[in-house]
Structure 1
Amino acid sequence: MAVELRLTTAKPASFYLRAARSFLEGVPAKDDKPEKPPVDTVTLMALGNAISVASYIGGTLEKEGLATIAAVRTKWTSVPGPVKHSPNVTVVLKRKAAEKALAGDLTVTTEATEPIDGQKPGTSGLRKKTKVFMGKNYLENFVQSTFNALKSTGVPIEGGTIVVSGDGRYYNKEAIQIITKMAVANGVKAVWIGKDGLMSTPAASAVIRCREGGFVPFGGFILSASHNPGGIDEDFGIKFNCENGGSAPEKVTDMIHTITKDIKEYKICKGFPTIDISTSGTYVVDGKVRVDVFDGTEDHVGLLQKVFDFEAIKKLIARKDFSMVYDSMNGVQGPYARKVFVDELGAAESSLMNAIPKEDFGGKDSPSHGHADPNLTYAVELVKAMGINKTGEKIGSGEGVPDFGAAADGDADRNMILGKQWFVSPSDSVAIIAANISCIPFFKEGLKGCARSMPTSGALDLVAKKKKIPCFVTPTGWKFFGNLMDSGDEKYFPDTECYTPFICGEESFGTGGNHVREKDGMWAVLAWLQILASKNKDESKPLVTVEAVTMDHWKTYGRNYYCRYDYEGVASEGANTMMANLKEKCNTLKGQEIKGMTVESAESFEYNDPVDKSVSSNQGIKIIFTDGSRIVFRLSGTGSAGATIRLYLEKYEKPSGNLGLSQFEADFLESVAS
């Protein structure tokens, strides 16, 4: 059970260590003059430095088997050196869970297998129909191929720690048990699992980067097909995230794919016990392998508290003229939403929609038809509650409509932002956050870099130009942002320019920063709430709305009218032929007119990574017109069957132009789409 100790007076760190010991062991503390603290705790004598306090109490007490730190919060910034008085610091300690010994047979069995076609990871891992993953050796082949690839690149699997969790979709729990048994067979000595097998994708990244001091695991398997529907007749997915918390880069996923085409055997400990993941606890199997089952929200929420000013957001939510609603779409985000919005920020329980995770995300009979996809098409309940239709246009009078609305997808890495009768496009969202970034404590000194995927509109470019920071354009897939976030890091790229603090975004409802190495739906929502809080400090003045913030942005930077059309379930061969034909025609398009617009350039997009110098070719076809408008064609890699062709249309309108049209009323978009 968590207990709060409120420290209000600065004393030597050894005093607090003894006080904590006293509390945890039930022994009265001696209030004598403490001895001189050891050298490594001298810097902790100023309790204004909350991070140091967390490190000291969390690290030292954990080593002595007394407690672990869950969170440290302070209203003050760090204060270096000794001080006479400290701010109020809340240290939440948890009694260390007793380890439960489990009997088990750790004998490694080598099972014969054969290659299975089609195990090539896409932009976010391998996604197929659930029944395909449930087929003989399908999951096992991919997992073993991943371990083989990691071993060949020198990843320390033997004796290492791995994270295994997912978004809770059908087959999640069963897959966790299989992967755990295979991990142990491949030499892993510690497995971290979210309670009930649940851990959002950004939370998994946070766990890898932050838990137990940070960067303990060599990586983790995330079981998710993201926004794709869940259920036995729907989709399942798996991907591997590396030690930095980010998705495996192309060189690793390509290696995994190569190994899947020639795999002959996999390893598994058949006698390893089935772990009870329904309750938090620590299990030690045969005295050699440790399995930790814990609340997957802890590390992620704790990290977000360091990024944002929760107190300021709490004041916004407490305003009588402010109301909000958040739709978790029956995905993994439900527990996180309750922890952040209700427990931490004081929002009403009624502000949460679809907050109970379900294996089928509500199923075909739900308003979303089981598609936990935060967009105007599938977030039906939220869209209706916010007073707009599926094209983002206002409906009704707006009476009783909340001032702020947001939604998450199945694994909570995507987000949709809405105001009262107002839709914020993902491309605009990341640009608006970048323009207002200094109101977020983590970014108070500003940005050193930003990035967007190639199909995403150029709205972010305009902000970057004004702020005089580099803006990179990458292929679609969050993994391409990873190197930019690790730039200048002594461990990864010490000889490159540092581009952090850094934010990035994609038109496919993904937004995030360098706090983790995944897009983060909760981060984006809190960023918007922080912006609104910064513009609504005076409660006596009318509420500055999401619509007002967006309009002010367009009046400063102009507006990028933008829309996307998806053609799903297309035969892969035909889709590839179409893209090849478009690529051939690129050289002949320059100077031609399309719907009255003159083509300035046309090319197949190729990305040259400025950090590791790798090259990614054939990432889509982009046609750019003389006025900056664009047409983009791209094949998607996130589907589970067939191919998806995406068509993107964009037209720029200057600040002095007509900014109030709907996306579909913009002349260029309407004419090309027709």
Structure 2
Amino acid sequence: MTTHPTRPFEGQKPGTSGLRKKTPVFMQPGYLENFVQSTFDAIGGVAGKTLVLGGDGRYFGVEAAQVILKIAAAGGAARMIVGQGSWLSTPAASNLIRLRKADGGIILSASHNPGGPDEDFGVKYNMANGGPAPEAVTDAIFARTQVIDSYRKLDAPDVNLTMVGESRLGDMVVDVIDPVSAYADMMESIFDFKALRGLFHEGFAMRMDSMCAITGPYAVEIFENRLGAAKGTVVHEQPLPDFGGMHPDPNPTWAHELMAEMMGPDAPDFGAASDGDGDRNMIVGRGIYVSPSDSLAVIAANAHLVPGYAQGLKGVARSMPTSAAVDRVAEALKLACYETPTGWKFFGNLMDAGRVSLCGEESFGTGSDHVREKDGLWAVLMWLNIIAARNMGVAEIMADHWETFGRNYYSRHDYEALPVDQANAMLGDLRDRLSSLKGTQVQGLVVQDADEFSYEDPVDGSISAHQGFRILFEGGSRAVLRLSGTGTEGATLRVYLERYVAGPEGLTEDPQHALAPIIAATEDLVGIKARTGRKGPDVIT
């Protein structure tokens, strides 16, 4: 073991999903080492502990895994459970932490962000419950990064991570495991695989786009090998360090190949996509795109059809920017419904306390208490199980849902890579005017209320302030604005737009047309285009 003197690097503050920076930043001498040592110091050291390690296969992941193993060994860790090739999807890592009763884990991913030598990299610490570190831990990590003066690293050859089996790094056991099998087994314990095999046996056609990211091997094993879907059902199935040049974010903009196929004349029955680290999903039917908010609501309304949830849900939760579609389902089913800030760690507290079974975020993340992360393939299997149980297509299921519960028209407009000062000044000005907006008439709408969202955790009483701005209009429409914590360049402003229509009329409009008054009112009130010089959002989902 060698102790290396070092100095703090600026900006090593973990966000909602760990520390994300451009890959060359992480490749600086000592940068990764500082952050990992600070993480281990902040959790009280790793002596005698068992940790899980893996990631989404992006560029620099293998090298980073070797660095982390040597720092863990120098710190006296007892065992590191590593995905073969340093691969593990985020939900699979969460499952392994829980299954193997590990003390925590490190996930090497920047999720849906692009990968490659000049793109993004990330490191995230997950707790013993399998979920992301809470703010108290990430704050402690950041505090340590600001004063760190040395890190400890074992001087040893790299570990062979290509072969399953145990080896030693100093006194630490390195347990290289198949990254797919335990996760696939868990899915088989939750869903009716017999019914799903019957679905594919009868000719049901599906397209799963893994976007050259980590879910490829998982999707091939589950859909093609275990469920009998036709070979080639999973496309872009090989994880690549640069994701084949793709932006592995499963939304209509970046998963455009899938969208074109599903909206074309020869579309299969069902389409889905997942992201870089496997925790997000997009659901598409023949000729119909399902918004993540609607997907969450449909899953909540039909969860009882899935064996793992046959006894009913304990409750549901959604992030504040997510539409209120699931709220209407919860009200009808007499379920508790929680509104939290963005960030899966907030759901983790509710799940650990037994308050909710199902939760979701509008940013293409849905999951349940089977793990403590959102889970892309789990959401796809939920939809397949519902389709098999109801013997209905996606369009039929959506039409029936809207007729029953009404429709929350919803869209997110992203303005990416804005100058940070400009974005902060624009939202600072909105903050100063919030109290004066009530009663304002704009674009035929009346502002009912406006505030900056703050959340008091019902489990531990912690307060999370400054979680986004809400402009609520009379009649159930609203606009939400917040800066994203997942980018690595400039500031990304997310604008969430929602309008509720009870039906039975007006349930089949194009969402952008239905939301036009909300879009125009938000521009009048905030002046995004006027202040940034942008002609419009970079991404619309």
Give the TM-score band, short-chain normalised. over 0.9
Alignment of 1:233-244 (within 5 A): 233-244=118-129
Residue of structure 1 in register with 2:517 after alignment: 668
Work out the CA distance in 1 between the residues paired with 2:455 and 2:43: 25
Would the alpha carbon gap of residues 586 and 669 (structure 1) be closer, same or farther in structure 2, given more than 3 Å must change? closer
> Aligned residues: percent identity?
51
Secondary structure of the structure 1 residue equivalent to 2:494: strand
Residue by residue, what CA displacement relative to the aligned partner does 1:462-489 show, whole Å, maximum 9, x if unpaired? 00111111111111111110100000xx
Would the alpha carbon gap of residues 256 and 460 (structure 1) be closer, same or farther in structure 2, given more than 3 Å must change? same
Residue type of the alignment partner of 2:39: T
Q: CA deviation at 1:411?
A: 0.3
Work out the CA distance in 1 between the residues paired with 2:209 and 2:113: 16
- Decide whether the 8 Å contact of 2:479 with 2:518 is kept in 1: no
Work out the CA distance in 1 between the residues paired with 2:333 and 2:169: 55
Residue of structure 2 in register with 1:111 after alignment: 4
Residue type of the alignment partner of 1:482: G
Residue of structure 1 in register with 2:355 after alignment: 499
Q: Structure 1 unaligned runs (5+)?
A: 1-107, 364-369, 388-395, 488-497, 537-543
Which of 400, 406, 418 aligns to 1:558? It is 406
Q: CA deviation at 1:574?
A: 2.3
Residue by residue, what CA displacement relative to the aligned partner does 1:168-205 show, whole Å, maximum 9, x if unpaired? 00000000000000011111021111111110000000
Q: Structure 2 unaligned runs (5+)?
A: 524-541
Runs of 4+ deviating beyond 3 Å: 669-674
Work out the CA distance in 1 between the residues paired with 2:78 and 2:87: 21
- Decide whether the 8 Å contact of 2:497 with 2:519 is kept in 1: no
Q: Does 1:318 align with 2:191?
A: no
CA RMSD of aligned residues (A): 1.2
Alignment of 1:192-591 (within 5 A): 192-211=81-100, 215=101, 217-271=102-156, 273-286=157-170, 288-320=171-203, 322-363=204-245, 370-387=246-263, 396=264, 398=265, 400-487=266-353, 498-500=354-356, 502-536=357-391, 544-591=392-439
Residue type of the alignment partner of 2:110: A
Alignment of 1:72-91 (within 5 A): none
Residue type of the alignment partner of 2:178: D
Q: CA deviation at 1:573?
A: 2.3
- Decide whether the 8 Å contact of 2:477 with 2:518 is kept in 1: no
Q: Does 1:190 align with 2:79?
A: yes
Work out the CA distance in 2 between the residues paired with 1:669 and 1:574: 23
Residue type of the alignment partner of 1:229: P
Work out the CA distance in 1 between the residues paired with 2:270 and 2:364: 17
Residue by residue, what CA displacement relative to the aligned partner does 1:111-148 show, whole Å, maximum 9, x if unpaired? 11111111111111110000000012111111011011
Work out the CA distance in 2 between the residues paired with 1:341 and 1:441: 18
Residue of structure 1 in register with 2:538 after alignment: none
Q: CA deviation at 1:335?
A: 0.6
- Decide whether the 8 Å contact of 1:327 with 1:355 is kept in 2: yes
- Decide whether the 8 Å contact of 1:307 with 1:440 is kept in 2: yes
Looking at both structures, which has the greater relative contact order when contacts are Cα pairs under 8 Å and sequence separation is at least 6? 2
Q: Does 1:596 align with 2:472?
A: no
Q: CA deviation at 1:657?
A: 2.7
Q: CA deviation at 1:382?
A: 1.0
Would the alpha carbon gap of residues 143 and 474 (structure 1) be closer, same or farther in structure 2, given more than 3 Å must change? same
Residue of structure 2 in register with 1:612 after alignment: 460
Q: CA deviation at 1:416?
A: 0.2
Residue of structure 2 in register with 1:173 after alignment: 62
Secondary structure of the structure 1 residue equivalent to 2:43: helix
- Report the TM-score, using the length of structure 2 for normalisation: 0.95
Work out the CA distance in 1 between the residues paired with 2:417 and 2:83: 34
Q: CA deviation at 1:562?
A: 0.9
Secondary structure of the structure 2 residue equivalent to 1:362: helix
Alignment of 1:99-138 (within 5 A): 108-138=1-31
Residue type of the alignment partner of 1:530: N
Alignment of 1:61-76 (within 5 A): none
Work out the CA distance in 2 between the residues paired with 1:512 and 1:285: 35
Q: CA deviation at 1:656?
A: 1.7
Work out the CA distance in 1 between the residues paired with 2:414 and 2:464: 23
Paired residue total? 522
Work out the CA distance in 2 between the residues paired with 1:443 and 1:352: 27
Q: CA deviation at 1:673?
A: 6.7
- Report the TM-score, using the length of structure 1 for normalisation: 0.76
Q: Does 1:653 align with 2:501?
A: yes
Q: CA deviation at 1:355?
A: 0.2
Secondary structure of the structure 2 residue equivalent to 1:349: coil
Secondary structure of the structure 2 residue equivalent to 1:436: helix
Work out the CA distance in 2 between the residues paired with 1:405 and 1:441: 23
Secondary structure of the structure 2 residue equivalent to 1:197: strand
Residue of structure 2 in register with 1:641 after alignment: 489
Residue type of the alignment partner of 2:91: P
Work out the CA distance in 1 between the residues paired with 2:422 and 2:255: 31
Work out the CA distance in 1 between the residues paired with 2:486 and 2:226: 34
Work out the CA distance in 1 between the residues paired with 2:181 and 2:128: 19
Would the alpha carbon gap of residues 247 and 471 (structure 1) be closer, same or farther in structure 2, given more than 3 Å must change? same
Work out the CA distance in 2 between the residues paired with 1:334 and 1:563: 28
Residue type of the alignment partner of 1:312: A
Residue by residue, what CA displacement relative to the aligned partner does 1:342-363 show, whole Å, maximum 9, x if unpaired? 1110001111110000000011
Q: CA deviation at 1:429?
A: 0.1
Residue type of the alignment partner of 1:282: E
- Decide whether the 8 Å contact of 1:558 with 1:652 is kept in 2: yes
Would the alpha carbon gap of residues 587 and 673 (structure 1) be closer, same or farther in structure 2, given more than 3 Å must change? closer
Work out the CA distance in 2 between the residues paired with 1:248 and 1:274: 28
